[in-house]
Amino acid sequence: MKEEKTSYRGRLAPTPSGHLHLGHGQTFQVADQRCREAGGTLVLRIEDLDPQRSKPEYLDAALEDFSWMGLAWQEGPCFQSQRRALYIDTWQRLKAADAIYPCMRSRKDVREAASAPHPEDEDPEPIYPPAWRVAPSAAGAYADPVGANWRFRVPDGAAIRFSDGRLGEQVFVAGEDFGDFVVWRRDDVPAYELAVVVDDIAMGITEVVRGEDLLCSTARQILVYQALQEKVPLFFHTPLVRDADGIRLAKRHDALAMKSLREAGLTFAEALERLDPGHSGL
Ligand code: GLU
């Protein structure tokens, strides 16, 4: 029987700035499974925007990881590094909507001026001091984003709600859980929060599957969708994977890098079993 494609569109969005670990693997596996179950289309998008941190060898390793995991996608790969015109266009739209402003403060300035909202959070990005906000009219002097950090002005006190496919109702409060966030970096790189929304819209993604460490980012991104008057997709956040000592995996955690595990001769399923049995909340 011919398989009917539904309108579900998902994506795999690796960042080739280090070797992917089992936590990434689990997220990609869930993304693949959910898309398959829905009879949808999976897009591979390489998030290689940061020219300093993205390396071809990490991309090669990620593609080998994917074949080791048995992942298959129907569209892509497409590369964020080749999509600048789209990001510029969205920067213009956000500027025209008075949603963003130029900011000359460095990350270090912000770190020194503010303490992290909840230091135990997965997202310890300090809150940008509201006193440092710049009137949106300052943006008028810029024909392009070059020369400043650009921040999204968040609606202080507004609750951002979404229903996560795994975790249920989520609520974040702008100005408390996170502050004005960067959408374009002073070194002229579009920031993650902007690029990911632009691409998820352009690619018609209907459900975003990503790690739970990005829950707060999802709330920020919902504000970007709203400023652009675009439809917000569904979200499914996967549990964080910890090693046997309970430490959350990071790209520098080489022992649980998928590359090391496959080179040690393990299958992906065997590698997952090696983790602390409580690793997965799925
Ligand atoms: N590229 C991001 C990462 O590797 C994932 C982005 C996303 O799922 O939105 O963490």
**135 pLDDT above the threshold of 80:** yes
Q: Which of 214, 221, 232 to mutate to test the pocket of ligand 1 (most atoms within 8 A of CB)?
A: 214
Give the residue whose CA is nearest to atom 5 of ligand 1: 13
How far apart, in whole angstroms, are the C-alpha atoms of residue 192 and residue 280?
26
Contact 133, 152 (CB under 8 A): no
**79 pLDDT above the threshold of 90:** yes
Residue 15: predicted pLDDT = 97
Q: What is the pLDDT of residues 209-265, one digit of tens each?
A: 999 999 999 999 999 999 999 999 999 999 988 777 777 776 666 768 999 999 999
**Residue in 71, 64, 14, 22 with CA at minimum distance from that of residue 239:** 22
Among all chains, which residue has been given the structure tokens 């829950």?
215
Residue 112: predicted pLDDT = 87
**Residue in 123, 118, 179, 117 with CA at minimum distance from that of residue 151:** 179
35 lines ligand 1 (CB under 6 A): no
User: Closest ligand 1 atom to the C-alpha of 196?
Assistant: 9
Give the residue whose CA is nearest to atom 7 of ligand 1: 210
**179 pLDDT above the threshold of 80:** yes
Residue 117: predicted pLDDT = 59
Distances in Å between the Cα of 47 and the Cα atoms of 82, 94, 196, 253, 280 are: 10, 21, 8, 20, 25
Distances in Å between the Cα of 135 and the Cα atoms of 88, 98, 141, 169, 220 are: 21, 9, 12, 34, 20
DSSP states along 204-218: T-SEEEEEGGGHHHH
Amino acid, single-letter form, for residue 72: A
Pair of tokens at residue 14: 């690796």
Residue 278: predicted pLDDT = 54
* Per-residue confidence band for 176, with pLDDT thresholds at 50, 70 and 90: very high
**Residue in 7, 69, 79, 75 with CA at minimum distance from that of residue 43:** 75
The lowest-confidence range among 67-81, 119-133, 259-273 is 119-133
191: alpha, beta or left? (left if phi > 0; alpha if psi -120 to 50): beta
Q: Which of 35, 46, 192 to mutate to test the pocket of ligand 1 (most atoms within 8 A of CB)?
A: 192
32 lines ligand 1 (CB under 6 A): no
Domain ranges of the chain: 7-82+241-282
CA 143 to ligand 1 centroid distance, Å: 29
Give the DSSP letter of residue 67.
H
User: Closest ligand 1 atom to the C-alpha of 217?
Assistant: 9
CA 141 to ligand 1 centroid distance, Å: 32
15 lines ligand 1 (CB under 6 A): yes
Cβ atoms within 10 Å, residue 28: 25
Tell which CATH architecture fits domain 7-82+241-282: 3-Layer(aba) Sandwich (3.40)
Contact 9, 204 (CB under 8 A): yes
**274 pLDDT above the threshold of 80:** no
How far apart, in whole angstroms, are the C-alpha atoms of residue 96 and residue 100?
9
What's the Rg (C-alpha) of the chain? 19
| Cα angle 72-75-193, degrees, rounded to a multiple of 5 | 100
The model's pTM is 0.92
CA 47 to ligand 1 centroid distance, Å: 7
